[in-house]
Structure 1
């Protein structure tokens, strides 16, 4: 890694309060595939995509959450624990935790991802968090992961259990509409504009043909999630 990249790693380690024994692990975790591809085209051989770390991080987060929920909520049933774990391991929740530690500021992205607001995209932030969790796990074990990240996961787990926050908006909305109306929401793409690297999609959410909410986002998936979030707010207010 070069000096500029090394400085970013030092700043991030200070941010999360953990100093890596092997900083190369963190470097790998912060390298998006777009950045790795660009750097390899320039002849660099020390830059690898973080995709393998994402795979491991997903499993580590599952273990961290399962143990936490089992120990902290002894009265919770298997079904309740599974539902809370799914919510906290969702893309939306992981992206929020990534924002809590300002992860977007420290990621290494290719030019295309930079201009398309990759640093703010839920999917990219969630994947990057998984990679960083994996890097901490390899470097310092589960104890280090708990030290760095457990407080963030625990905070949101408690809020989900208490019904104070929703992360998986589409699933939550589906549960609400099925229970209240015995209907499933319908998502309709009504607009798509902008150049290929800066698309903006608009989705309408309908229930039995009636417009409930509208969502916008840089992808159809993000627009649907925003529409679902707005629909939940509206239905809870009714």
Structure 2
């Protein structure tokens, strides 16, 4: 087994699926900046199947929840920053095929690219196997997040939950600082730091707007505190 094959084998173990057609996985990891065939079509397919799998899981997990509650919880799980975090946990960025410009600008760490790639990989698994195999993979990726859900927090965003957590412990409220903005006007990425005095913690988040970046940073702080 050469280095490339070993690299791919490690990723497949992390994903929980061994591909019959390795070319599908390779395509799922190919960003549009490479040119030619890329993961966009697989991303379209993966977006649909991930939404379906998460919706079905929530339907069974919360039998008494109203439609609006289920929709809000699902939205929190399938939004871009959450998908990007799952992709980072799977170390997906290390395996992406990017054009020279994206590599130089930090594309392997960019949340939007990681989120798209995770969806494209889900689409590739679906095509390589079947719905049930894809379902098991996706549920494993989201297992910890699904287990930590409660209807009590369904209506609350990450910033609100972090503020309530700190207030309940008589701790100072978090401070958010804009660190920078990257990209063209039509495709900007905002980077924000979230600082806690007690307990001492500094985390960062990124998003397509300052508000989304602050929410991503707050969500990261909650994860570090063990209450995400």
Q: Please confirm whether the aligned pair reaches a TM-score higher than 0.5, indicating the same fold.
A: yes
Say whether the 8 Å CA contact 1:87–1:167 is kept in structure 2.
no
Structure 2: distance between partners of 1:113 and 1:166: 36
CA change 1:91–1:167 in 2 (3 A) is farther
Deviation at 1:117, TM superposition (A): 1.2
Alignment match of 2:148 (pick from 131, 139, 159): 159
Say whether the 8 Å CA contact 1:217–1:226 is kept in structure 2.
yes
Alignment match of 1:140 (pick from 113, 121, 129): 129
Say whether the 8 Å CA contact 2:72–2:154 is kept in structure 1.
no
CA change 1:155–1:201 in 2 (3 A) is closer
CA change 1:71–1:124 in 2 (3 A) is same
* Matched residues, number: 197
Aligned to 2:108: 119
Aligned to 1:23: 22
Secondary structure of the residue that 2:70 maps to in structure 1? helix
List gaps (5 residues or longer) in structure 1.
41-47, 177-189, 205-214, 234-238
CA change 1:166–1:27 in 2 (3 A) is farther
CA change 1:154–1:167 in 2 (3 A) is farther
Alignment match of 1:227 (pick from 204, 211, 214): 214
Aligned to 2:94: 105
List gaps (5 residues or longer) in structure 2.
165-177, 194-202, 222-228
Aligned to 1:12: 11
CA change 1:163–1:93 in 2 (3 A) is farther
Alignment match of 1:52 (pick from 24, 30, 41): 41
Determine if the alignment matches structure 1 residue 84 to structure 2 residue 73: yes
Structure 1: distance between partners of 2:92 and 2:156: 19
Greater Rg by CA:
1
CA RMSD of aligned residues (A): 4.0
CA change 1:202–1:4 in 2 (3 A) is closer
Superposed CA offset, 1:187-216 (max 9, x none):
xxx8867898xx986779xxxxxxxxxx98
TM-score, normalised via structure 1 length? 0.67
Structure 1: distance between partners of 2:182 and 2:130: 45
Deviation at 1:160, TM superposition (A): 3.8
Secondary structure of the residue that 2:19 maps to in structure 1? coil
Say whether the 8 Å CA contact 2:192–2:204 is kept in structure 1.
yes
Secondary structure of the residue that 2:38 maps to in structure 1? coil
Secondary structure of the residue that 1:19 maps to in structure 2? coil
Deviation at 1:225, TM superposition (A): 2.7
CA change 1:113–1:217 in 2 (3 A) is farther
Structure 1: distance between partners of 2:87 and 2:179: 30
